[in-house]
């Protein structure tokens, strides 16, 4: 990895994203033209944050005529957990993982993935108290995501063979994952993954 940078913030992404990108490129001794593939997370997450990220990457990629690749936050989170090893390494290969992300609304974004990062079902918005019902008789062997603690608090640690809390998105791991999927990149703007309607709505009436 040549360079990586990030800032944890709730607001002001649009103001810092491009300068932060320029800083990372400067540290790596590269320019925008040196990037072969642009990767961006497509959610789920905050509506505004997703749109800002997609807009910024689309502008950079189109300006340099480079392909784009969208990766959802569930996949990025599990890739981080598996790559970091620890108790996540070597868990039953055919086992599934529950990836739980904090929606910042009191409920969780959840999805089941295999260790090959393949989706085993659609994503869902699940209240912590409804996790057991949502899982039913499905028994994921692993648990990860930035909301793993909330799942453990509700279901208990013993339900999972491996518990590996991980950030929803690690930019370094995202870049490494994107490098293995470069053949999937294209000119089309990646499609955002929204699991709820945006708060901002058009006013009713004329």
Written as tens digits, the pLDDT of the chain (206 aa) is 678 888 777 777 878 888 999 999 999 999 999 999 999 999 998 888 899 999 999 999 999 999 999 999 999 999 988 886 544 445 545 579 999 999 989 999 999 999 889 999 999 999 999 999 999 998 888 999 999 999 999 999 999 989 998 887 888 889 999 999 999 999 999 999 999 876 555 566 66
Tell me, what's the pLDDT at 87?
45
Cβ–Cβ under 8 Å, residues 120 and 165: no
Q: Compute and round to an integer the Cα radius of gyration of the chain.
A: 18
Closest among 85, 87, 75 to 161, alpha carbons compared: 87
Whether the link from the prior residue into 44 is cis, omega within 30° of 0, is yes
Cβ–Cβ under 8 Å, residues 39 and 178: yes
Do residue 68 and residue 78 come from a single domain?
no
Tokens of 100: 């739980």
| DSSP assignment string, 57-115 | HHHHHHHHT--EEEE-HHHHHHHHHHHT-GGGTT--TT-EEEEEEE-SSSSEEEEEEET
Is residue 194, in this structure, part of any structural domain at all?
Answer: no
Is residue 204, in this structure, part of any structural domain at all?
Answer: no
Report how far apart, in Å, the C-alpha atoms of 50 and of each of 23, 73, 86 are: 21, 11, 30
* DSSP H or E run through 174: helix 171-180
Q: How many domains are contained in the chain?
A: 2
Tokens of 200: 């901002």
Tell me, what's the pLDDT at 88?
44
Cβ–Cβ under 8 Å, residues 163 and 157: yes
State which residues form the domain around 152. 74-165
Closest among 12, 19, 21 to 52, alpha carbons compared: 12
Do residue 132 and residue 81 come from a single domain?
yes
Do residue 33 and residue 59 come from a single domain?
yes
Is residue 203, in this structure, part of any structural domain at all?
Answer: no
Do residue 84 and residue 136 come from a single domain?
yes
Q: Any idea what the CATH number is for the domain that residue 58 is in?
A: 3.30.420.40
**Nearest-5° Cα angle at 192, 189 to 194:** 165
Do residue 102 and residue 146 come from a single domain?
yes
* DSSP H or E run through 143: strand 142-145
Coil, strand, or helix at residue 131?
helix
Tokens of 10: 């709730």
Do residue 31 and residue 43 come from a single domain?
yes
Tell me, what's the pLDDT at 206?
62
Do residue 38 and residue 99 come from a single domain?
no
Do residue 86 and residue 161 come from a single domain?
yes
pTM metric for this prediction: 0.89
């Amino acid at each position: 990895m040549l360079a990586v940078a990030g800032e944890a913030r709730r607001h002001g992404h649009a103001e810092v994203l491009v300068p932060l990108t320029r800083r990372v490129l400067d540290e790596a001794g590269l320019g925008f033209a040196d990037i072969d593939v642009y990767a961006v997370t497509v959610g789920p997450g905050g509506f505004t944050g997703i749109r800002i990220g997609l807009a910024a990457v689309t502008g950079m990629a189109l300006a340099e005529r480079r392909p784009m690749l969208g990766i959802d936050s569930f996949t990025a989170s599990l890739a981080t957990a598996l790559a970091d090893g620890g108790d996540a390494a070597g868990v039953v290969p055919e086992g599934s993982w529950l990836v739980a992300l904090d929606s910042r609304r009191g409920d969780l974004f959840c999805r089941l993935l295999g260790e090959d990062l393949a989706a085993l079902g659609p994503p869902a918005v699940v209240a912590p108290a409804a996790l057991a019902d949502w899982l039913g008789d499905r028994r994921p062997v692993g648990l990860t995501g930035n909301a793993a603690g909330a799942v453990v608090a509700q279901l208990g640690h013993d339900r999972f063979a491996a518990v590996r809390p991980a950030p929803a998105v690690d930019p370094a791991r995202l870049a490494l994952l994107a490098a293995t999927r470069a053949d999937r990149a294209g000119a089309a703007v990646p499609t955002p993954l929204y699991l709820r309607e945006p708060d901002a709505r058009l006013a009713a009436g004329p």
